[in-house]
A and B are shown apart, each in its own frame.
Chain A
Amino acid sequence: MGNQSPEPIVQPDSDRLKSLRIPLRIDGQIIGLIIFLAVIMIVMSFASEHFLTYINLLNILQQAAFVMILAFGMTFVLSTGGIDLSVGSIVGISGGMTAWLLYHDVNMVMAVIGGMIVGTAVGIVNGLVITKLGISPFIATLAMMIIARGVLYVWTGAIPIREYMSSSFTFLGQGRILNIQFPVIVAALLLLILLFVYRRMRFGRHVLALGSSEEAVRISGIKVDRLRIKVYALSGLIAAIAGILLASRLTTVHPEMGKNYELEAIAAAIIGGTSLAGGKGSLVGTALGAIILFMIKNAMNLLNVHPYWETIVVGVIILVAVTVNIWGGSARIRLGSRKALKEVKQS
Chain B
Amino acid sequence: MTVEEDQVLLSLSGITKRFPGVLALENVSLDVRKGEVLALVGENGAGKSTLIKILSGLYSKDSGEIRVRGKAVDINGTKEAQALGISTIFQEPSLAPHLSAVQNVYLGRELVKSVVGKAVRAMNEKEMYLETARLYQKFFPSVEDLHRPVGELDALKNRVIEIVKALSVDCSVVIMDEPTAALAEHEREVLFDFIRLLKAQGVSIIYVSHHLRELFLLADRITVMRDGKNVATVNKEDTNIDHLVSMMVGREISNHIVKEKVPLGKVVLEVSDLNRRGVLKDINFHVKQGEIVGIAGLAGSGRTETVRAVVGADPIHSGKVVVDGRPRRIRSPRDAIQAGIGLLPENRKLHGALIELTVSQNITVASIKRILGQRFVLKKRKETLIAEDYVKRLGIKTPHVNQKVRFLSGGNQQKVILAKWLFTQPKVLIFDEPTQGIDVGAKVEVYNLIAEFVRDGGAVLMVSSELPELMGLSDRIYVMHKGRFVCEFSREEATEENIMMYASGGHE
Interface residues in chain A, defined as those with a beta carbon under 8 Å from any beta carbon in chain B: 1-2, 4, 6-7, 9-11, 14, 16, 19-20, 196, 200-202, 205-206, 208-209, 211-213, 215-217, 219-222, 279-280, 332-333, 336-337, 340-341, 343-345, 347
Contact = CB atoms under 8 A, between A and B. Distances in A.
A311 to B, nearest CB: 32
Interface in B87-107: 88, 90, 92, 94-100, 103-104, 107
Counting chain A CB atoms within 10 Å of each CB, the highest count among B108, B186, B187 belongs to B108
A336 B241 CA distance: 39
Contact of B122 (A11, A19, A280): A19
Nearest to A213: B96
Contact of B116 (A1, A20, A341): A20
Contacts of B100: 1
A347 B154 contact: no
Nearest to B299: A344
Chain B interface: which size bin?
A: 35 or more
A236 B99 CA distance: 26
B82 A221 contact: yes
Contact of B77 (A14, A221, A337): A221
A6 B108 contact: no
Contacts of A340: 152-154, 157
For chain A, what secondary structure do more than half of its interface residues adopt (helix, strand, loop), or is it mixed? helix
Counting chain B CB atoms within 10 Å of each CB, the highest count among A10, A332, A336 belongs to A336
A221 B122 contact: no
B181 to A, nearest CB: 15
A202 B110 CA distance: 7
Interface in B119-156: 120-126, 129-130, 133, 143-144, 146-148, 151-154
A206 B103 CA distance: 10
B108 A220 contact: yes
Nearest to A333: B152
A219 B146 CA distance: 21
B97 A212 contact: yes
Given A205-B110, A215-B92, A219-B90, A16 B115 contact: yes
B108 A221 contact: yes
Nearest to B104: A216
B188 interface: no
B300 interface: yes
Contacts of B151: 333, 336
B103 A205 contact: yes
A196 B119 CA distance: 14
Contacts of B126: 10-11, 14
B78 interface: yes
B476 interface: no
Interface in B406-437: none
Contacts of A209: 96, 98-99, 103-104, 107
A-B pairs with lowest CB-CB distance, top 6: A336-B152, A220-B108, A279-B98, A212-B96, A212-B98, A340-B154
A305 B184 CA distance: 60
B112 A202 contact: yes
Contacts of B184: 344
B79 A221 contact: yes
B482 interface: yes
Contacts of A205: 99, 103, 107, 110, 123
B110 A219 contact: no
B438 to A, nearest CB: 22
B392 interface: no
A223 to B, nearest CB: 9
